[in-house]
Amino acid sequence: MINRLIASTLPLLPKRFVWLFSRSYIAGETVEDAMSACQTLNADGIKTTIDILGEFIHNLDEAEKNRDEYLSLIDIAQRTGIDGNYSVKPTMFGLLINAEACYSHIRRIVAKAASYGNFIRIDMEDSKCVDLEMNLFRRLKTELPENVGLVVQAYLRRTLKDLKDLMDLHTPTIPLNYRLCKGIYAEPGHIAFQRHDEINAHFLEDLEFMFRNGVYPGIATHDRSLVDGALALIDKYKIPRDRYEFQMLYGVAPELRRSLIEAGHTLRVYVPYGRHWFGYSTRRLKENPKIVNSIVKSLLLSR
């Protein structure tokens, strides 16, 4: 109850104060901050996916600026030697303003990553974006099959059907590559499962479909029960260590993260940064008030 109260109050407080709660799970405001965070994670044997914060822009001038910022980020990260890839949110490039312009911007970003032999993950946003983002992914996957992946959300009632519908893009030599997460946007019951147990059951159902069909999953969760369920499926289907990875948010569940690394599993951490950190911070805290506990502890220990 206290965590929920703190999380719901934060958006009303000064940004400087909110930053005290946010700095544990956001790399910073600059690309230099992101590089430093990634280098630290890489030194611990952890791969990264870098995300520039921002979404739901209002005009296409912003989309061009965001595109150029990503193109610059990719050059800098490659020069720095970061072991990681990149995530993009299509609404940051005008998906809901002009879908063709959005495609053009993101294609340039994927092509830039491809020039280094690297990879772009298309984030999945709220339900009004799903069909547009599926179409965007399908188009990019056809053109640059080795260099683009997608996020799917287990709480959406449509997800398993979507996975089946996309299998025509899959080949054994260039498998589909998904980040499977629970889902973070507030959606009505006819669109998304609401109960924790339902969502977890469908998460594991989706993951089992991926394993049975040779899809490469990024298993994105901090839920110990889902990690255990995933490990059971890995054993059941005898999945090689190079055909999946676990993924987690920056600054969250360090002990669980460490246990997976020590057991020899590949782990990738999502590293967000940028000047638009405030909206991301307040949304994350409202979605997961339990984060407040760990943040408060880290604040006290840093004094």
Could you tell me if residue 209 is inside a domain? yes
6 shares its domain with 82: no
Q: Tell me the β-bridge partners of 180.
A: 152, 219
What is the predicted pLDDT for the residue at 186? Answer: 86
Could you tell me if residue 140 is inside a domain? yes
Could you tell me if residue 21 is inside a domain? no
Specify the length of the chain in residues: 303
Considering the entire predicted model, what is its pTM? Answer: 0.91
What is the predicted pLDDT for the residue at 301? Answer: 43
Four-CA torsion 280, 281, 285, 290, nearest 10 degrees: 120
69 shares its domain with 94: yes
172 shares its domain with 290: no
Q: Determine whether 139 is an active site residue.
A: no
CA 69/CA 273 separation, integer angstroms: 12
Q: What is the pLDDT along the chain (303 residues), one digit of tens a residue?
A: 555 565 566 666 566 666 666 778 899 999 999 999 999 999 999 999 999 999 889 999 999 999 999 999 999 999 999 999 999 999 999 999 999 999 999 999 999 999 999 999 999 999 999 999 999 999 999 999 999 999 999 999 999 999 999 999 999 999 999 999 999 888 999 999 999 999 999 999 999 999 999 999 999 999 999 999 999 999 999 999 999 999 999 998 999 999 999 999 999 999 999 998 877 766 666 655 555 554 554 444 444
1 shares its domain with 53: no
What is the predicted pLDDT for the residue at 298? Answer: 44
262 shares its domain with 129: yes
294 shares its domain with 151: no
119 shares its domain with 224: yes
Query: pLDDT per residue over 53-84, tens digit each?
Result: 998 899 999 999 999 999 999 999 999 999 99
Q: Determine whether 268 is an active site residue.
A: no
Could you tell me if residue 19 is inside a domain? no
Domain span at residue 283 reads 1-13+276-303
Could you tell me if residue 60 is inside a domain? yes
Q: Tell me the β-bridge partners of 49.
A: 85, 270
109 shares its domain with 177: yes
Could you tell me if residue 18 is inside a domain? no
Per the structure, how many domains does the chain have? 2
CA 25/CA 21 separation, integer angstroms: 9
266 shares its domain with 236: yes
Active-site entry in 67, 107, 121, 179: 179
Active-site entry in 23, 67, 107, 123: 123
121 shares its domain with 266: yes
Helix axes 60-80, 31-43, angle to 10 degrees: 40
CA 280/CA 87 separation, integer angstroms: 15
How many Cα atoms sit within 13 Å of 117 on the Cβ side? 3
How many Cα atoms sit within 13 Å of 236 on the Cβ side? 12
